[in-house]
Amino acid sequence: LRPTHRLFSCPGTVAADVKREEQSSRNVETGSEGRTPKKKFSEVQKERREQAQRTVLIRCPNKISEKKFLKYLSQHGPINSHFFYESFGLYAVVEFSQKESVTSLQNVTRTPSMETEAAIPFKSRFFNLKMKNPSSQTSEQSCIQSSNHSPPSNKKLSELLCYAESMDDQLNTLLKEFQLTEEDIKLRYLTCSLIEDLAAAYFQDCTVRPFGSSVNSFGKLGCDLDMFLDLDEIGKLSTNKTSGNFLMEFQVKNVPSERIATQKILSVIGECLDHFGPGCVGVQKILNARCPLVRFSHQASGFQCDLTTNNRIALKSSELLYIYGTLDSRVRALVFSIRCWARAHSLTSSIPGSWITNFSLTMMVIFFLQRRSPPILPTLDYLKTLADAEDKCIIEGHNCTFIHDLNRIKPSGNTETLESLLKEFFEYFGNFAFNKNSINIRQGREQNKPESSPLHIQNPFETSLNISKNVNQSQLQKFVDLAQESAWILSQEDKDRPSPSSHQPWGLASLLQPSVLSSVSLAKKKRKKPASERIKNLLESIKSSSPENDTHTNGK
């Protein structure tokens, strides 16, 4: 169960700062096409990281006077912004203007002494506020205003979509409702920063960076938090300082491969999170996966976290997706809607398996947008030709070079509407020759499939790999069938669209309704069989799926 976050807005002067900041960062991070220059991925990461380092997380009593709370904290220095949220209790995220304020607050906190249990004295930035006299606070509690921070329910979404004015409006509404909020983004960076404090006890100067959908502009409220423990900076820092004869001694502690080094590092960090990590629960070390990771829940933020190391290419993929998501405002609207459509029809799942992943779906949308005439998105090879010396990047022998400055990429002249793009997407992939062609965003055109996996999407950087190798034929067929059906529904609606006053689901809303889709599908293909026959078939399929027939692979 994911806790739902309820956020409380902050009145007064601080609120104005937050609003201003929200406004400007929305332009930057969500790809809205104002005239403000768009920030580079590295700039956003740097700014957010610094902001997180000046921030503390406080568990508060349920009844609290916001005014007194802020007044008390201001003794340690000026506060830039703050917000409250609920996640099995009330929490506050408070960003100071200066890092010193955090130390000052830490200096006046104490480790609780308990009679039956022993507390581990790890000095973190996660505090627990205990009131000496809780009843005196109650009267002022009402000054905290709440704003909801969880994604809308299916019912609410359906209503919002039904009342929209156009399909373009529907796709933009869905994006607005599901995209990460400013507060959620801050909480994600703060969580990484708190984990970094812990990892730094072992690896001084290490960095824990968020990657994946938390930062690639395609994050949906409630998505997991992928983190990358970056140890490369440590080497860089020391080469700057020493030019001489001293090398860190490692001969007695070296290991036979990078993979084993990664496993050992994650193993100790996993132990550390498990034993000492404030609020880290359910720590699982998944070290034999293709990409070893430590999975845990950060209870206070409510995030499900996946921590990896030695995963620099994934960070590059996140940057590339950020560029694609920020270049044109139609990209994110389309990706969010396709992801939501896929989820509604169980094409994707939170459990790893033989289904399509969100990452693969995003690649398919990007590829489709590269194939429009004129293209809406440039190919990766084109982004590479725009790169200058500073952009050059080779990771483990793979060329990951592409331009980082979005402002130097010419906007597309394509003016297609979201409505038309959604229809065309379903048409395109409903008729794609998956049996012989591979999807390749580097070249922006189909390639012959180099191997026989049902779905082949070339990994943009490790080009010999297929990012959708886990997908089996039946899942691909389900995707194709649903794409065809969706294209068909939209073409029917063109002729006979329900009026908005009829409150009937239409456009995107009708595509998200599993029942409508499956009944249309069955009726259209005239393959509906009597119930007795369906039950007989079901029993036969259960009999034939004995373990030796099970060819499912585990995707992750």
37 touches 402 (CB < 8 A): no
Residue 372, sorted as left (phi over 0), alpha (psi -120 to 50) or beta, turns out to be beta
* CA 355 – CA 115 distance, rounded (Å): 51
CB of 338 to ligand GTP, least distance (A): 13
* CA 499 – CA 504 distance, rounded (Å): 8
Amino acid, single-letter form, for residue 450: P
With contacts defined by CB under 5 A, name the span among 101-109, 128-136, 198-206, 219-227 that binds Mg ion.
Answer: 219-227
Q: Which of 86, 182, 226, 485 binds Mg ion (CB under 5 A)?
A: 226
With contacts defined by CB under 6 A, name the span among 52-60, 310-318, 388-396, 474-482 that binds ligand GTP.
Answer: 310-318
Q: Are strands 6-9 and 303-309 parallel, antiparallel or unpaired?
A: unpaired
| Helix, strand or coil, per DSSP, at residue 304 | strand
CB of 385 to ligand GTP, least distance (A): 23
318 binds Mg ion (CB under 5 A): no
By rule CB under 6 A, what count of residues binds ligand GTP? 14
CB of 365 to Mg ion, least distance (A): 17
Q: What is the DSSP letter of 164?
A: -
Q: Which does 358 bind (CB under 5 to 8 A by kind): Mg ion, ligand GTP, none?
A: ligand GTP
CB of 247 to ligand GTP, least distance (A): 33
Largest separation between any pair of C-alpha atoms in the chain: 82
Helix (H) or strand (E) holding 546: none
226 binds ligand GTP (CB under 6 A): yes
How many Cα atoms within 13 Å fall on the side-chain side of residue 236?
Answer: 7
**DSSP-derived secondary structure for 407-445:** GGSPPP-----HHHHHHHHHHHHHS--TTTEEB-TTTTS
CB of 555 to Mg ion, least distance (A): 13
Q: Which of 101, 170, 193, 213 binds Mg ion (CB under 5 A)?
A: 213
With contacts defined by CB under 5 A, name the span among 19-27, 63-71, 220-228, 503-511 that binds Mg ion.
Answer: 220-228
Q: Which of 31, 77, 212, 454 binds ligand GTP (CB under 6 A)?
A: 212
Q: Which does 402 bind (CB under 5 to 8 A by kind): Mg ion, ligand GTP, none?
A: none
Residue 487, sorted as left (phi over 0), alpha (psi -120 to 50) or beta, turns out to be alpha
267 touches 287 (CB < 8 A): yes
Cα–Cα separations (whole angstroms), residue 451 to 4, 278, 441, 445: 43, 46, 17, 17
- Residue listed under structure tokens 């003794």: 75
51 binds ligand GTP (CB under 6 A): no
Residue 346, sorted as left (phi over 0), alpha (psi -120 to 50) or beta, turns out to be left
CB of 55 to ligand GTP, least distance (A): 23
| Helix, strand or coil, per DSSP, at residue 232 | helix
| Helix, strand or coil, per DSSP, at residue 530 | coil
Nearer to ligand GTP by Cβ, of 102 and 185: the residue is: 185
225 binds ligand GTP (CB under 6 A): no
Q: Which of 47, 140, 177, 224 binds Mg ion (CB under 5 A)?
A: 224
Q: Which of 31, 212, 222, 555 binds Mg ion (CB under 5 A)?
A: 212
Nearer to Mg ion by Cβ, of 162 and 280: the residue is: 280
- What crossing angle do the helices spanning 154-163 and 167-178 adopt, rounded to 10°? 150
467 binds ligand GTP (CB under 6 A): yes
Residue showing the smallest CB distance to Mg ion in the complex: 212
Tokens describing residue 464: 């010999």
With contacts defined by CB under 6 A, name the span among 185-193, 220-228, 441-449, 542-550 that binds ligand GTP.
Answer: 220-228
358 binds ligand GTP (CB under 6 A): yes
Q: Which of 194, 208, 223, 403 binds ligand GTP (CB under 6 A)?
A: 223
* CA 317 – CA 400 distance, rounded (Å): 9
With contacts defined by CB under 5 A, name the span among 144-152, 207-215, 313-321, 329-337 that binds Mg ion.
Answer: 207-215
Q: What angle do CA 16, 22, 26 make, to 5 degrees?
A: 155
CB of 526 to ligand GTP, least distance (A): 36
* Closest C-alpha to 364, from 434, 452, 419: 434
Binding pattern for the stretch 485-524 against Mg ion, x by CB under 5 A and - elsewhere: ----------------------------------------
Chain residues binding ligand GTP by CB under 6 A are 212-213, 216, 223-224, 226, 314, 317-318, 357-359, 459, 467
